[in-house]
């Protein structure tokens, strides 16, 4: 493989060329999942922002499409959302076909340079061909004027069925602003949220706001996802979330969840370094009913310096988000979408594995760890360290696991190949605190050429991390001083190779 393609993942979405950051405007219609993304096609660094576009039948294999929305000179198209306007509330529809309406931030670089406050405003564009080409709403933009706040961006719009209204949430520096509309063109300010609660180490960006059922009940809650550039669990950028209620005007956090936020400082959807600016899909059919998510798989700490050529950065594996309740406590869990299972080409299964010391999970050469999903349970855990090591023939390794003496999950990529492109990449072991000592545990690991996504206890804690090896990993082993009892080990070989 050429140097440019060496680090291109097998199945995580990447742009063919140029720079990519946040996922934007995802919706589902006519059998296709659409994904737009912050894109500068000319170079693999951030620049004039376009909305790149890709479509997929299953969120796993993507076909990149021509660019959907172009900047106009210094007026960049920043992050935002898109909705399928099934009732044609906007009137943009033609011949009875539902229009797609994109709602995004227009960022004026010239005003930005002059230090003007009104650098960012919310604009819309519409598509009458199912999301492939868009027309900017020149006669009516901006649909939300800048209220005198410099950082005022990333509108996420969704339909509030109970009130029959569109709701827009916009990140406004240290809080979110909520708006409503009947037609996606005229918006009214409703309320703000979040100024004094959760993480605030830098300005808020890329919110998402949706209603979701509590698993196994008929109770419904509202969830706010809130990304920010600094202050995540292991430093740098991350996405926190809030669970609560919405009365059509104001979002209020559930009192128990508020206690949890105060206890933990912030509650994150992912405790790894590399999941930022993620949002969820619009218009998933009710017969499906899932809340589907994708994030930008890198940290703002080093997004511009990861060692790829010709293109830069990838998305996470798409995930299903669910809300669970234990006692009085709500948690948002995420797991890889089930569509990934379609690509399993062979499996190794072991019902149980009891060992002292260190053991390989499969015979060398049997599985290609550049696209694999590994899951297992750990039983009879002691107050000890349970370490899993991915390694290759030239001594590169990545370890992850559970420290059940000090109660945390960890990922250590300090020896996993190239790390010196940023001192924030791998100078420390990354951790996710657990609130107590564990008796048993469950892990699901999704591996691609340049990433590991760890879903702990059915997605209650997630850690997403990228790495850049000089040779692929070819072995994974488990070790613990007090012995390991591993059950239900399944190693699934995937065969996707969309990017070869
Ligand atoms: C997040 C972000 C957004 C903004 C976009 C610009 O990574 O800073 O807030 O809209 O990137 O590309």
How far does Cα 140 stand from its chain's mean position? 32
pLDDT digits (tens, 9 = 90+) for 303-358: 999 999 999 999 999 999 999 999 999 999 999 999 999 999 999 999 999 988 89
Pocket test for ligand 1, best of 39, 79, 155, 239 (most atoms within 8 A of CB): 79
Structural tokens at position 59? 């969120």
Residue 81 CA to residue 175 CA, distance in Å, equals 19
pLDDT over 90 at 364, yes or no:
no
Per-residue pLDDT tens over the stretch 421-466? 999 999 999 999 999 999 999 999 999 999 999 999 999 999 999 9
Token pair, residue 382, equals 């002691």
Residue nearest to atom 6 of ligand 1 (CA): 78
Of 15, 18, 21, the residue with max ligand 1 atoms within 8 A of its CB, to mutate for a pocket test, comes to 21
Architecture of the CATH domain 18-336 = 5 Propeller (2.115)
What span, in angstroms and rounded, lies between the C-alpha atoms of 285 and 156? 19
Instruction: Tokens 């390694």: give the residue.
Output: 391
Q: Residues 90, 137: contact at Cβ < 8 Å?
A: no
Residues contacting residue 497 through CB under 8 Å, at least 6 positions apart: 10, 11, 371
User: Using a 6 Å cutoff on CB, does residue 206 contact ligand 1?
Assistant: yes
Strands annotated E in 329-384? 329-336, 344-360, 371-378
Residue 24 Cβ < 6 Å to ligand 1: no
Could you tell which of 18, 20, 22 is best to mutate to test the pocket of ligand 1, judged by most ligand atoms within 8 Å of the CB? 22
- Residue 301 sits at the vertex; the CA angle it makes with 178 and 473, to the nearest 5 degrees, is 120
153 CB within 6 A, ligand 1: yes
pLDDT at 498 over 70: no
CB 4 within 8 A of CB 18: no
Round to whole Å and give the CA distance between 125 and 103. Answer: 7
Give distance in angstroms: CA of 156 to centre of ligand 1. Answer: 13
pTM over 0.95: yes
Paired residues of 291 in beta bridges:
321
Q: Is the peptide bond before 142 cis (omega within 30 degrees of 0)?
A: yes
Q: What whole-number distance in Å separates Cα of residue 307 and Cα of residue 97?
A: 44
The residue count for the chain: 500
Domain boundaries, the chain: 18-336, 342-494
Distance 206 CA to ligand 1 centre (A): 7
Kindly state the DSSP code that residue 357 receives in the 8-state scheme.
E
Pick from 410, 129, 453, 126: nearest CA to 278: 453
Domain 342-494 top-level CATH class: mainly beta
Q: Which residues of 279-307 are buried (b: 16+ CB within 10 A; e: fewer)?
A: bbbbbbeeeeebbbbbbbbbbbbbbbebb
- So what's the pLDDT on residue 500? 43
Query: Mean per-residue pLDDT for 490-500?
Result: 83
List residues with catalytic annotation: 22
Assembly ipTM = 0.99
Closest ligand 1 atom to the C-alpha of 78?
10
């Amino acid at each position: 493989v050429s140097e440019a393609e060496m680090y291109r993942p097998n199945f995580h979405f990447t742009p063919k060329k140029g720079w990519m950051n946040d996922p934007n405007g995802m919706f589902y219609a006519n059998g296709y999942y659409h994904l737009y993304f912050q894109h500068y096609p000319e170079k693999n660094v951030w620049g004039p922002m376009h909305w790149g576009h890709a479509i997929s039948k299953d969120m796993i294999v993507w076909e990149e499409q021509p660019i959907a929305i172009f900047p106009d000179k210094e007026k960049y198209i920043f992050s935002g959302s898109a909705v399928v306007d099934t009732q044609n509330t906007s009137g943009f529809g033609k011949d009875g076909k539902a229009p797609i309406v994109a709602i995004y931030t227009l960022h004026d670089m010239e005003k930005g340079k002059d230090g003007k406050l009104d650098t960012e405003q919310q604009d819309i564009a519409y598509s009458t061909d199912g999301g492939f080409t868009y027309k900017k709403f020149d006669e009516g933009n901006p649909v939300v004027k800048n209220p005198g706040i410099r950082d005022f961006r990333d509108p996420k719009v969704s339909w509030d069925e109970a009130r029959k209204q569109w709701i827009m949430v916009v990140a406004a520096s240290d809080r979110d602003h909520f708006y409503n509309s009947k037609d996606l063109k005229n918006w009214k300010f409703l309320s703000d949220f979040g100024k004094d609660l959760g993480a605030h180490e830098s300005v808020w960006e890329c919110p998402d706001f949706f209603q979701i059922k509590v698993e196994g009940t008929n109770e419904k809650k509202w969830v706010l996802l809130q990304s920010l550039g600094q202050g995540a669990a292991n430093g740098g950028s991350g996405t926190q979330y809030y669970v609560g209620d919405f009365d059509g005007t104001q979002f209020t956090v559930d009192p128990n969840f508020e206690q949890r936020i105060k206890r933990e400082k912030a509650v994150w959807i992912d405790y790894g370094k590399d999941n930022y600016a993620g949002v969820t899909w619009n218009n998933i059919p009710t017969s499906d009913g899932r809340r589907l998510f994708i994030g930008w798989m890198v940290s703002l700490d080093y997004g511009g310096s990861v060692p790829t050529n010709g293109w830069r950065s990838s998305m996470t594996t798409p995930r299903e988000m669910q809300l669970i309740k234990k006692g009085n406590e709500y948690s948002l869990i995420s797991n890889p979408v089930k569509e990934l299972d379609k690509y399993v080409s062979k499996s190794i299964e072991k019902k149980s594995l009891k060992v002292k010391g260190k053991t390989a999970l499969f015979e060398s050469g049997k599985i290609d760890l550049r696209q694999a999903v590994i899951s297992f349970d750990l039983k009879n855990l002691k107050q000890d360290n349970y370490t899993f090591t991915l390694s290759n023939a030239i001594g590169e390794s990545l370890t992850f696991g559970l420290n059940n003496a000090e109660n945390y999950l960890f990922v250590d990529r300090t020896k996993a190949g190239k790390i010196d492109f940023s001192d924030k990449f791998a100078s420390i072991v990354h951790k996710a605190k657990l609130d107590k000592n564990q008796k048993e545990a469950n892990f699901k690991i999704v591996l691609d050429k340049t990433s590991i996504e760890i879903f702990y206890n059915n997605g209650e804690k997630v850690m997403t991390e990228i790495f850049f090896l000089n040779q692929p990993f070819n072995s994974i082993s488990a070790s613990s001083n007090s012995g390991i009892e591993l059950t239900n080990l399944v190693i699934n070989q995937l065969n996707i190779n969309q990017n070869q």
